[in-house]
Amino acid sequence: MKPSIFNVVPSAMFLVLLFLLTPKLASSAEVGDTISEHLQKQLNIPKGQVGVVDFFASWCLSCAKEIPDIKKMIKQDSQQKMYVVGIDVDENLDEGIAFQKELSIDFPVINDVNQTIISEFAPIAMPALYYIIDNKIVGKHIGAVPNIDEKIKNDLQQLGVKT
């Protein structure tokens, strides 16, 4: 008995349907991962400093709450042991810049309008904060963290960095 097209096609279609219905989960950057060369160039973290990469957006209220604490933390870092770089993931550049001006952000910020940088990190929630030493992710905080400045200080001490 020759296999009819109506025997093969439904099976194939069913497999395609199963594939389409399977959620595609983006793999997020984990502690221990090394960031890509392209990302290294973009972040431009100086050697000998701990890179603190903070992802934020104008629509993220928790991000807005954390930024003043991060600014306070930078002022306390007299020895400049850490290099904070903000990644604004607003798709609208004007909104992002207005938000940065509103919060008087004085640390370097990359406007990730195309959301390519955050896609590489793929955090499951916002705000997201990553520690990077020698292009390697050594720690992260996902979601809102109260008193993030104290948390960063403790984390850096645990990483052996005295601020």
Partner 1 sequence: MKQLMKKKLLLIICCCACSACSTVPVKSWQKGTLASETMRFGGPNSMIKKFDEHIYTSKESSKGGGGVSGGGCGCN
By CB under 8 A, name the binding residues for partner 1: 6, 9-10, 13-14, 16-17, 20-26, 55, 57-64, 89-92, 115, 118-119, 122-128, 143-144
3 state SS of 123: coil
Q: CB-hemisphere CA count at 13 Å for 103?
A: 25
Asked if 99 and 90 touch (Cβ cutoff 8 Å), the reply is yes
In the complex, least distance from residue 116 CB atom to partner 1, rounded to whole angstroms: 11
Cα gap 5→67, rounded to integer Å: 61
Q: CB-hemisphere CA count at 13 Å for 43?
A: 34
Looking at the Cβ atoms of 45 and 129, the one nearer to partner 1 is 129
Cα gap 36→151, rounded to integer Å: 27
Looking at the Cβ atoms of 11 and 79, the one nearer to partner 1 is 11
Amino acid at 65: K
Pairing of strands 128-133, 82-88: unpaired
Looking at the Cβ atoms of 120 and 139, the one nearer to partner 1 is 120
In the complex, least distance from residue 162 CB atom to partner 1, rounded to whole angstroms: 30
In the complex, least distance from residue 81 CB atom to partner 1, rounded to whole angstroms: 27
Looking at the Cβ atoms of 58 and 149, the one nearer to partner 1 is 58
Looking at the Cβ atoms of 31 and 61, the one nearer to partner 1 is 61
In the complex, least distance from residue 150 CB atom to partner 1, rounded to whole angstroms: 18
In the complex, least distance from residue 24 CB atom to partner 1, rounded to whole angstroms: 6
